[in-house]
Structure 1
């Protein structure tokens, strides 16, 4: 029995899609990382009951951190992106979080930069607040160890690929790190949107980009690029195709990043039919209904799509590109220019 809903939400449903494909389906994936990070910081004495934790979020992490703070008796302050909708905003306030929305912005980069700058202002004025640094602190890896153990129980890790959105690196990067402790051959396939500096797609503009949470217009300090074997970049139309297929074929209602990961996983299996894959579905599809799922009738069929195979970042293009990353270092624009302290 769980003593708080956050404990239950930190565990995914593990769903077998076919003989070689598993789906890790979360309601709110970042609860796993936020809950363990907060517990670890309390155990170390870095924070104490009654303290205020602050961070910036486009939605999923805000909910996760608010739940963790509720679980452990802490205050929560969220600098919220314009992508945080009324439903989530209301939940956060009832959970006791202070939500500070950013003004409408013309670009994702400006929105993210404003949010981080505002967090720094808050810390300047309230030095006892603790910045969770979801974009930079590797403490967020820790919560995925039990999930790696779950995968290990049910999958053949000797020929396994983990496929999912990169985001801050904490989910896919952590799973690969922990799985490789016993199975070094586990491959990691990262999913990115266009317009993201993380894996060098900032020069390709997708006019409909709403794939929240898996890319960034600013460098992230806790993405370890050397963990990734292959990277897929998706535009909106291709991601929607995968999301609709995941729902139609397997009744899994998930966000656009899950749809992109599903499409990437299908392609990787086509290239290597003996490969087993685990697809990450980090959230539900509810916040994408109006902007994405309502257009399901016009979504392209997955079998009509294939990635543009590239060997240089400058060659990528919409709607879908793929590249062997081969555990290479970060591209220049993805390197954090100033050292940011991380917690062990």
Structure 2
């Protein structure tokens, strides 16, 4: 099936017909646009250069329009990487200053980009403890706000303003895949991308499904009792609670360890020539599993960023990668049964808390 190009009005184009690309006023408006690639008959990749540009642009635009912030003001937040770049680009786009409290995962290349864009950067000391890293970043932001009360804290983990920008890619999806029942599959992270995208899609089709992907060690969906020393969980999971994660939006959840995510990320490049980040590979692995069991729905894989941040940790080790085709999850009915390396469960759009097995739910329909 031919997909309508991003930005098209309706229906596929005739073979050989080209659409002139729009001329943008700022690079952020061009970078945010995703590419849609059909990986299988019922699996479509929504690949972004950097997904969080939508969140940052939408949030900053809303804050300016409502007078919460004014041109020239300094916006501050902490980030593990792609949100920092997105916020710096949004500030550059709208004439604002930017200060980033950066995770230890932010490398020199990313820092150079931020500083050239005019952002000031605080980088936390090296740490293997993600909770410590995140807590240090929050403490530093509070210190900055105490010294500079005119700064505005973006609070990407907690302020629902970050959901707003995802209405636009949701509209792109609906126009590109008209009439197809959709299942969104993506890493949970802050909750804004999968949550904002799915909320917007459900305004038109309440049956749109959402599958969240988590690493072991994340508190977001109850796997904090596990450790995965190799995991790069920044941007996929969290060691602290995020208000922007609305658990009641998710139909299913998959937990994967680093080896499975790495296998899927390398496999995505080998099979489809897609150079993408670890969260994209993990989401694709989960989507392939779901798509095989629900062939009548189109599974949309959220590809949050490119693979550049993962070159050393993932791609240079490609010969070590497992064969994704040989991997399968253990289906569980309760978080008590959760075990590495890959588990999947029907979350059934419930608030965070103990998940009641289906058999018990049938006995007690009030739940």
Cα separation, 2, equivalents of 1:128 and 1:297 = 51
Cα separation, 2, equivalents of 1:74 and 1:2 = 19
Alignment of 1:90 onto 2:89: no
**Structure (1 or 2) with the larger CA radius of gyration:** 2
Q: Which of 142, 156, 161 is the matching residue for 1:139?
A: 161
1:169 touches 1:222 (CA, 8 Å); kept in 2?
Answer: yes
Give the alignment of 1:313-332 within 5 angstroms. Answer: 313-331=335-353
Q: Which of 102, 105, 121 is the matching residue for 2:124?
A: 102
TM-score, with structure 2 as normaliser? 0.89
Cα separation, 2, equivalents of 1:260 and 1:90 = 28
3-state secondary structure, aligned to 1:232: strand
Alignment of 1:287 onto 2:309: yes
Alignment of 1:65 onto 2:98: no
Alignment of 1:237 onto 2:245: no
Q: Which of 247, 250, 255 is the matching residue for 1:225?
A: 247
Residues 183, 157 of structure 1: alpha-carbon distance in 2 compared, 3 angstrom cutoff? farther
1:211 touches 1:256 (CA, 8 Å); kept in 2?
Answer: no
Cα separation, 1, equivalents of 2:179 and 2:148 = 46
Q: Residue in 2 aligned with 1:126?
A: 148
2:211 touches 2:250 (CA, 8 Å); kept in 1?
Answer: yes
Cα shift readout 1:89-123 (whole Å, capped 9, x = no counterpart)? 01111100000011112300100011011111111
Q: Residue in 2 aligned with 1:177?
A: 199
Q: Which moved more, 1:300-309 or 1:16-25?
A: 16-25
Cα separation, 1, equivalents of 2:340 and 2:179 = 32
Point out 4+ residue stretches in structure 1 off by more than 4 angstroms: none
Cα shift readout 1:101-160 (whole Å, capped 9, x = no counterpart)? 111123001000110111111111111100001000110111111100111112255532
Structure 2, unpaired ranges of 5+ = 1-22, 355-367
Q: Residue in 1 aligned with 2:327?
A: 305
Cα separation, 2, equivalents of 1:166 and 1:92 = 25
Cα separation, 1, equivalents of 2:317 and 2:179 = 37
Cα separation, 2, equivalents of 1:206 and 1:60 = 22
Give the alignment of 1:185-200 within 5 angstroms. Answer: 185-200=207-222
Cα shift readout 1:284-316 (whole Å, capped 9, x = no counterpart)? 001101011111112111121101111111221
3-state secondary structure, aligned to 2:280: helix
Cα drift, residue 271 of structure 1 = 1.3
Cα separation, 2, equivalents of 1:75 and 1:156 = 40
Query: RMSD between aligned alpha carbons?
Result: 1.1
Structure 1, unpaired ranges of 5+ = 333-344
Cα separation, 1, equivalents of 2:271 and 2:178 = 23
1:158 touches 1:186 (CA, 8 Å); kept in 2?
Answer: no
Cα separation, 1, equivalents of 2:217 and 2:41 = 35
Q: Residue in 2 aligned with 1:273?
A: 295
3-state secondary structure, aligned to 1:56: strand
2:24 touches 2:30 (CA, 8 Å); kept in 1?
Answer: yes
